Structure 1
Amino acid sequence: MTELLATTPYRGTRDLLPEQMSVRQQFFHPLFEVIESYGFGRYDGPILEPVEIYEAKSGEEIANQQLYSLTDRGGRRLALRPEMTPSVARMIARNLGSLHLPARWYSHVICHRYERPQRGRLREHWQINVDIFGSDGVNCEIELFELIHDMMRSLGATEEMWALRVGDRVLLESILRDIVKVPEDRRREVSSLVDRWAKYPREKLAEDAEKLSLTSSQFDLLEETLASGAEVLTAVPAEVAERSQVVKLLKSEAGELVTFDPFIVRGLQYYTGTVFEVFDEHPENRRSLFGGGRYADLAGLFTKQRIPGIGFGMGDVTLQDFLEVHGLLPTARPQADAVVIPLGEDLLAPTRRMARLLRQAGVRTSTPLEPRKLSKELAQADQAGARVAVVVAEDEWRRDAVLVKDLATREQHEVPVAELAERVAAVLASTAP
């Protein structure tokens, strides 16, 4: 029984107190408004999915190392979703008959991955997912990159605080095939090596390359080619560059939205073209915040009709770290704007009536659940962050009035009940000293 009284959650997950929930809601809500301003519709889906969709589409790291899986009583293999993209591809395929493509969809869901908890990574996290299905055009990339810029601005972030770096699986495939001459059966593994290039010292990368049968000259050539940045665009064959959405993007007026970076690969198996990541530029938190990419036919697992797509996922853990190091994290919102306090048990009914009046006017209002002294109620109201205390006292109530106390200035006035909502709204709208 003692073990059942443990006070900590499962390692890598979180208990969020009301004030912490308030902070999260405040930095997520503006993001939803920006996304919906672009015409994206919000969807949701089950937290349990067949294991097979991740084994087929998400790649070995997620499928073999990070899935929380189970077998139900019917013998079906299920997993807690580690990401939303395979689920939304299934939903798009299932509802093709009623959809008008291209479709703009977004979600805000909880995901689970079994990985080592550390700064920026937990085994449970909330994630915004934004996807466009049904178009191969570069306008999809442009719209998502404009959206990301607007989302970051809505958080109060200026452009020097972060960077949007873009790579291309099509270009990387050509680099490995046409320039470095990597055999076809080694290209996926070498792509994974490039994906972790910034995380390991050169000696470790060279050692891993040797295990993949790359010669030292091939390794040097790979490093030199990737490090050349935009020069890669002229090094690959012209027909490859013509197929690249990234090349089209960089040649358009929207090229200023991104920085081309050949080292951006993204680990998920289903990406087939454009890949991108948003990085924090703060010296205390130089890391990827979120990212995404283009998939030529992720829905092909569920339908014979080809449905291209592009999208990204933004997790709450890295986002909160970004806001914290840049001083952008909002303060917790008070649990109530006003409290209504009775001076006597016989005034409970009028107290509830006054609270209901304020709530109908849009004021978040609480009332005592047990009789206590006025001083204790005022102290608790202060602690909860309330700005106004409405005191229902016997003498004033006989005059159809109440006492309104500004908890910031400590000023108190008798106010007719008919004017209560207006007076409380005026106090809340004023600036506290």
Structure 2
Amino acid sequence: MEIKLRPGDTLWYYSQLFMVPLNLILDSNPSVNPNKLAVSETIQIPGFESQVHQIKHGETLWKIAGVRNISVDSLLLLNQQLNPNNLKVGDEVLIPNRIIKRFVDGKKKYDYSSLQEDINRLKKVFPFITVHTIGNSVLGQNIEEIKIGKGTKNVHINASFHANEWITTPIIMTFLNDFLLSLTNATTFRNVRTMPLYQSVDLSIVPMVNPDGVNLVLNGPPEGQKEKIISINEGSIDFTGWKANIRGVDLNNQFPANWEIEKERKEPKGPAPRDYPGDTPLSEPEAQVMAELAKKEQFDRLLALHTQGKEFYWGYEGLEPAESRTLANEFSRVSGYKAIQNVDSHAGYKDWFIQEFRKPGFTIELGKGINPLPLSQFAEIYHDTTGIFLASLYM
């Protein structure tokens, strides 16, 4: 919510007026010098949206404040051009509306446009987060990273490497929404105080690694690509089994961690709906983006969200650090998911991360059943995995 600074006001006063932690106001206004505030300077207040209200007969700002349990001064602040003693029926006033409920709707077919809509609103309501376009998909869709927190522990979570595992995206976006609400409303999240996590962790989220593939599964092939994509799909117009990117390359078989083994033994020898590792490692732009991100940001731990199995994998070739076992035990405790150290698989993002950086990496297989998992499992998956996400931050 935007306001205009008045003479004599301070950011500390706004923190008290709106009952929002001062550090979140400071982080929402990085270009503002709190010691040299300028009158009429625009200030972002996180956790609020302004609503337009039409004055009814007999209404005053004082009556509106009383009915809504807000400060009269908050109304005066938002309506500085208005004469509060000369209100007329039909006049429009802005009212600060505290956001206390989740607005990310994860229980729907969550395609790229759904993600963009939610990212835009999250950025508007919680301007202390940052959103970066870190690269583009084959079809030019933005691959975006959302960052939150001011700490030194770098944690990364990604979702939708695989197209028909798209439910992982609304799961992590719902978590993000709930986490942000707990910060601006100073509430706990699953009995965890989140402000200490915000202050100690730098959280990176890439909610949709494979936007082209997700759109294909949910919306069908784009114009101009139908014939080629249907051919890759062996003539079928049913794309529910499609895991790959739009070129038929499985992005989670693209990383240089014994890639040659996967290349040799995988059955598809050319573009396919799933399992084809490409002609070379890191041939696909989406995989290149994720490799460069890890190299640039030097994450301390990584969670890659997939479906399905209610289990997770935490080792690779004995290269994982001792810390991984401790984390795995806690993840299993809080979720009920089975912890599996090693599987006969290579070339995944988690595999490469452990090999490259010798830091904890996890592939989390959400839910159980046949991909794509039905939305009827959403609530159960979210309940089970929220503990994992929080543990990855506080451990």
What TM-score comes out, normalization by structure 2 length?
A: 0.24
What TM-score comes out, normalization by structure 1 length?
A: 0.22
Bigger radius of gyration among the two = 1
